[in-house]
Amino acid sequence: MSQKIRIEEVAREAKVSITTVSRVINKVPTVSRENKEMVEAAIKKLKFRPNVSAQRLASGFSSSIGLIIPRYEGVFQSFYAMELIRGVGSACESLKLDLLLHLSNGDVGLNTSHMGGAIFADIIENRKQVEATVEDNLPCMVVNNIVDDLAVNYIAVDNKKGAQAAMEYLISLGHKNIATITGGLITQAAQHRLEGYKQALEQKGIPVKEQYILRGDFSRRSARVAMEKILKLEEPPTAVFAASDDMALEAIEVIIEKGLKVPEDISIVGFDDNPASIYGPVALTTVKQPLFEMAQTAVKELNAIILGKKKSVVKTILPTELVIRESCTHQ
């Protein structure tokens, strides 16, 4: 019986429009208490079970959130990507929202017709997609990227201050010759971490040496190449700040393979607080960024915007935390 009841019958029973019924089911707060009670009574009387697709088509309201992640090699082995998916998925489940996952390199436009809102996991070669979404007036949120030149909502991490904290810790231990392995400088996160590295040195009056800046791309492979170059320098550094835990862990592997020890010969700091950083050869000192919190907050803020509870543009920068373990020592 309940399978055959349609939303139109509930509307007739409650003496309201189909749109009102759909909004009650979706818990849209603009419905009056009287109409809400009538719809709920009709649903109970008819033992109605919503056909989700039909309800959305009738109301013009979609409870699907699109998560757009830049496509790159190893995306599903990435701690960053997995934490974002986990956080967004968890928040969507608690808010009874559907999650649509898109892997995109930014070359083609997005089909947003089935989305109530969109979350962009960073802006890497897909700015046109973000701009088009804003122009279409689809509620959207950018995570992990500070966007000051576009009227778009964003939630980001303070990568610069996080890098500065890591460097200030190494400097406090007496290190002056500190190298860095950068992330892919196409990303804002990597750029800001490099800026934090340089600024911490400059503030302490320590020269920034270009030979100590090795470019990586957040991958283990790039970290291995960079660490091998670092160890061949005429004056190798006493410490290395890597822009991700994956790169830091690979750097430690290279150091050990060369017969050296961490932290006795070289101190290492990473960035992320990937759980794997605890279980390596040496427990890694790192900068914790609140990826799960950032993802969950993005969904909650976006849902509030979709429901009309927030009108102003959301611009939030979350702090990082230095997690001190065993991979650093005094120089």
Residue 324 CB coordination number (10 Å): 11
Assess whether pLDDT exceeds 70 at residue 50.
no
Report whether 120 contacts 141 (CB < 8 A).
Answer: yes
Q: Does residue 5 lie within any of the structural domains?
A: no
- CATH at 283: 3.40.50.2300
Measured CA distances, 222 to 218, 219, 228, 255 (Å): 7, 5, 10, 15
Residue pLDDT, tens place only, 97-133: 999 999 988 777 788 878 889 999 999 889 999 999 9
Residues 196 and 211 placed together within one structural domain of the fold = yes
Assess whether pLDDT exceeds 90 at residue 91.
yes
Residues 182 and 268 placed together within one structural domain of the fold = yes
Assess whether pLDDT exceeds 70 at residue 39.
yes
What pLDDT score was predicted for residue 61? Answer: 54
Out of 56-70, 106-120, 269-283, pick the least confident. 56-70
Using alpha carbons, select from 285, 274, 275 the residue that is nearest to residue 252. 285
Residues 75 and 141 placed together within one structural domain of the fold = yes
Q: Does residue 27 lie within any of the structural domains?
A: no
Assess whether pLDDT exceeds 80 at residue 179.
yes
Residues 143 and 173 placed together within one structural domain of the fold = no
Q: How many domains does the chain have?
A: 2
Q: Are strands 178-181 and 98-104 parallel, antiparallel or unpaired?
A: unpaired
Q: For the chain, give the mean pLDDT.
A: 91
Report whether 246 contacts 218 (CB < 8 A).
Answer: yes
Q: Which domain holds residue 231?
A: 159-289
Please state, in angstroms and rounded to a whole number, the distance separating the CA atoms of residues 128 and 134.
Answer: 10
Q: Does residue 53 lie within any of the structural domains?
A: no
Residues 249 and 266 placed together within one structural domain of the fold = yes
Which tops the pLDDT comparison, 7 or 128?
A: 128
Q: Sorting pLDDT into bands at 50, 70 and 90, what band is 60?
A: low
What pLDDT score was predicted for residue 89? Answer: 96
